[in-house]
Structure 1
Amino acid sequence: MEPPKKSGPPRRSGPGGPRRPTGTQTAPGSRPARPPFRKAKPASAKAANPHPARAAAAASGKNEPQRIAKLLARAGVASRREIERMIEEGRITLNGEAVTTPATLLASLHGVAVDGTPVAAPAPTRLFLFHKPTGFLTTERDPRGRPTIYDKLPADLPRVMPIGRLDMTTEGLLLLTTDGEFKRQMELPSTGVPRTYRARAFGEVSQNQLEDLFDGLEIDGIRYGRIEANLERRTGRNQWIEMTLTEGKNREVRRVLEHLGLQVNRLIRTSYGPFHLGELASGAVEEVRQHDLIVFRKSLGKAS
């Protein structure tokens, strides 16, 4: 087995040169940026007549009503799923009365409180790149007392939520955001945001076997979509494999490679969408410029 390197992910060798720096360049194998989203014209009388509450809000110039769970997630209170649990526990109130359903429609968060504390209006979405080291869980707390990414993050960082997860033994790029709704959008398989990994695996595999992953495969009843995989280099029976996928199912890279008879002994996420790990040091955090974040969100069909 190749001895582990002292720090940071290995650089790609060959005519391509070193990996690109952190920024908003297009990841290898990713799709071109989509054109800005444009609302389609109503196809029927039903489509032309919106919900009465929304129509009234539009006529009065007020914000369009949205579900309280979505508004609270957008404000960075928690993820939408966590907010739904908080509503069930009676922790969220509106003008002093407990909210009973996450489907409650509101035009703003005025009068909304969580555990008795009023919720502030949502600030602009922020996005951070974090080079997650191995040995840390992607969770806020662990019942068994194991270290989490929050033990490693700088104390002056605002309240952030991870976009997706990395296993405890997986390192590399982890996106962190202040916006729960943006987090949810990024994680949806239907959004199709590509993630790229580099895996060091022990065993034998051919490029032809890796190219077969392009059509997807099924393992133990779970269907995995298209994966672009390339054999980068081989040292003895260890090889570095680059894989780009868009679904991000639980332990997808490891399970697919194990299905091919390989044993993964190091796994690094190098990019998520147009955001790259680059030379970001292990444990370091870097904020994405607002301009780059806005451009990216527009490419997803949703301006910030």
Structure 2
Amino acid sequence: MSAPERIPPRSMTSARLLGEGELTVRGRIREASNAALYCTVSYDGQEAACVYKPVAGERPLWDFPDGTLAAREVAAYEVSEATGWQLVPPTVLRDGPYGEGMCQLWIDVEPEGAELLALVDGDEPEPGWKAIGFAEVGEGRTALLVHADDPRLRRLAVLDAVINNADRKGGHLLPAPGGRLYGIDHGVTFNVENKLRTLLWGWAGEPLTEEAVEVLTRLRAELKEGATLAERLTGLITPAELDATRARVEALLTSGRHPEPGGEWPAIPWPPV
């Protein structure tokens, strides 16, 4: 069988293909903590690879309502699209072979993409890198975990702060052909309580970029009641979670800085990669 045709992630065809196409399960992604199925989706002569996560395969969490993770993934995509940064692959909520679930366009990783994370010796990162913290590397040794001082990662750090991402691991960063970067796995987002856990703390406390302030200002308007983004998020997250999202955007604009770890919640997810 020939490889499925890759559909440009930003095209209107992607959303229609994902939402209306015939979904065929090809295998299971066993590394995922919840049921994640590798599929192809076909519509009107076109075919693409995708990931389908049925609600029925979600494991219960103590701090998120049961059966809500798929909708949160779609909500993260909607916010990403509203920023204009398009950091999340096209994602829809649809019916599938195992019931309703999230369906997301598969992204091929660029094997020669720039290195985003590293472990280094010493107490300070080299130029072009940002420190995350120290990690045990065996035999009683520690190394400094760093991430690239990359504008794509910095945009993702802002998005994570807005959606309150509780699980930004290194394995959720997908460098794609053409220099694009995508973030995936956004099921544990939009909680009312502050649960930001991420590897992207390198800019903590630093002023937001001018670009980020412009994007957040636009988001503030789009999140007002009756605005486009607010309407799209209605039904995906609760009214209280939508209000909390508005409050996070407002707090970022008021401080003008990247958030810092709060202390009430582990700041870095485990495992980190």
Q: Which has the higher contact order (CA 8 A, sep 6+)?
A: 1
TM-score normalised to structure 2 length:
0.26
Q: Select the structure that is richer in helix.
A: 2
